[in-house]
Amino acid sequence: MTAGLNTGSNYAYAAVRIVAGFLFSCHGVQKLFGLLDGNQVEVFTLLGLAGIIELVGGVLIALGVLVPITALVASGQMAAAYFMAHAGQGLWPILNGGELAALYCFLFLYIATRGAGPLSLGRMGS
């Protein structure tokens, strides 16, 4: 049974990369434009920089362009967000509100090590 599941693993990875990138970019849209029920922040602040990383990085990851470096930057941003905004409020991410930041951090770390994979613009020329 697992052999059948493994045949689609590259495309499942591509789906995870695309969806994660898209959802990450939505956080950038919230911060930079105040859309999607977000609060617009000043661009030249830490939150503004986070919004730029989320929007641009999310789009690049979803499209499969410059994935290793972009995902590594996104992972670092999420680690910083966790420790700056959540860790001081308690040990457990589920209790301090940092579970999404922790999940994105490790998801993007995995994506950085795996690369663009199939269904990516970065592989179209290869």
Give the pLDDT confidence of 38-75 residue by residue, as tens digits.
999 999 999 999 999 999 999 999 999 999 999 999 99
pTM: 0.93
126 pLDDT above the threshold of 80:
no
Cβ count within 10 A of residue 14? 18
92 pLDDT above the threshold of 70:
yes
The pLDDT of 78-102, averaged and rounded, is 97
The pLDDT of 3-19, averaged and rounded, is 89
Model pLDDT, residue 3: 67
Tokens describing residue 66: 């410059």
